[in-house]
């Protein structure tokens, strides 16, 4: 396992009956706890026109989280680059890196993070060719030291070398990350089908760069932990309902859990939501230990990005605390086995 770090991906869920302000305050509270529990990163995701997600202005929320914490890395998982000009993102993350040096990550993705109507409302041109690879290279350039006579520079941003990650849920991102020699984060927490093929593509095609000498992969995984397996399964029904609603074309706020998880089985099969959530570890601390050990053994992940859509904030805190304890138990077990 080699001391695999655990990190957190937060969509800043707006639970039914909650306000955006409550959700943002909950995110900061979770990040502050995560820092004390030893999590490595706290990433936030860009989604638009979704009433159940409060992280649309991702750079703003990153600043809020970074300003309320001290040591944990804070970043985007990710910024959807087709929605923005590379220069604007370089300026935003150059500002964040100037305020919180050594703590800011920039994960970028190729998807719009919204539907086509919403993407048009963001005034981006959707009719031209896919320019994501060129946009990533342009973004890298803005973070390099400015050259004499350079007509356009990111200020702030130039010379800060903000770490860029490629996010993906298909082979495209794996190939691009490998070609550019960048770290790669795969969205296995909702797009599991291409995981193993993407890992093989990235690792076998990887070209060392000034940024990274060997492949580095972070994998998303749903983890819901509670004091018993039964309670964890009940809490997980909020995420299951959210995915069912999304697949049915009815996205909304995060719903409360249901007391009989088996009632969702038919809808999970019919909508394909169950397949999307295939990489989910749900249960007590012991169950989570075993499930995450198996996932790491299967994938040889360098880092895990844990996500948990849990309705009750206290239960969500408890889940991430138990997950951190599971990681420590896995490490201790590994140390004992080596000894």
List the beta bridge partners of residue 74: 42, 104
- What percentage of residues in the chain have a pLDDT greater than 90? 85
pLDDT digits (tens, 9 = 90+) for 143-194: 999 888 888 999 999 999 999 999 999 999 999 999 999 999 999 999 999 9
**What is the predicted pLDDT for the residue at 130?**
82
pLDDT digits (tens, 9 = 90+) for 67-76: 999 999 999 9
Please identify which residue in the block is written with the tokens 């060392």: 208
Q: Which residues in the chain show pLDDT less than 70?
A: 1-2, 112-115, 123-129, 334-339
**What is the predicted pLDDT for the residue at 124?**
62
**What is the predicted pLDDT for the residue at 118?**
74
Asked if 7 and 47 count as a contact pair (C-beta separation under 8 A), the reply is no
**What is the predicted pLDDT for the residue at 117?**
75
Q: Quote the Cα angle for 179-184-190, to 5°.
A: 130
């Amino acid at each position: 396992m080699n001391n695999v770090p655990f990190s957190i991906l937060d969509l800043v869920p707006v639970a039914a009956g909650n306000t955006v302000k409550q959700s943002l305050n909950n995110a900061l509270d979770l990040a502050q706890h995560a820092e004390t529990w030893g999590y490595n990163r706290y990433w936030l995701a860009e989604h638009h026109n979704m009433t159940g997600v409060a992280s649309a202005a991702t750079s703003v929320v990153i600043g809020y989280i970074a300003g309320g914490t001290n040591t944990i890395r804070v970043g985007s998982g990710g910024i959807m680059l087709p929605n923005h000009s590379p220069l604007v993102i370089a300026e935003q993350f150059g500002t964040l890196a100037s305020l919180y040096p050594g703590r800011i990550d920039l994960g970028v993705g190729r998807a719009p993070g919204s539907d086509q109507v919403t993407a048009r409302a963001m005034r981006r041109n959707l009719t031209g060719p896919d320019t994501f690879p060129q946009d990533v290279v342009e973004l890298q350039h803005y973070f390099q030291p400015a050259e004499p006579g350079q007509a356009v520079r990111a200020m702030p941003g130039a010379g800060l070398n903000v770490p860029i990650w490629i996010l993906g849920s298909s082979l495209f991102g794996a190939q691009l990350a490998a070609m550019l020699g960048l770290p790669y984060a795969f969205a296995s927490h909702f797009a599991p089908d291409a995981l193993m093929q993407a890992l093989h593509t990235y690792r076998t095609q990887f070209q060392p760069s000034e940024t990274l000498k060997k492949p580095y992969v972070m994998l998303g995984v749903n983890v819901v932990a509670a004091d018993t397996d039964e309670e964890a399964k009940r809490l997980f029904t909020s995420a299951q309902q959210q995915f069912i609603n999304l697949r049915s074309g009815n996205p909304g706020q995060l719903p409360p859990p249901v007391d009989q998880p088996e009632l969702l089985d038919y809808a999970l099969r019919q909508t394909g939501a169950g397949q999307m959530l295939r990489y989910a570890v749900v249960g007590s601390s012991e169950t989570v230990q075993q499930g995450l050990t198996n996932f790491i053994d299967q994938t040889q992940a360098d880092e895990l990005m844990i996500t948990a859509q849990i309705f009750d904030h206290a239960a969500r805190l408890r889940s991430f605390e138990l997950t951190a304890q599971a990681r420590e138990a896995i490490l201790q077990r590994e140390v004992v086995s080596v000894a």
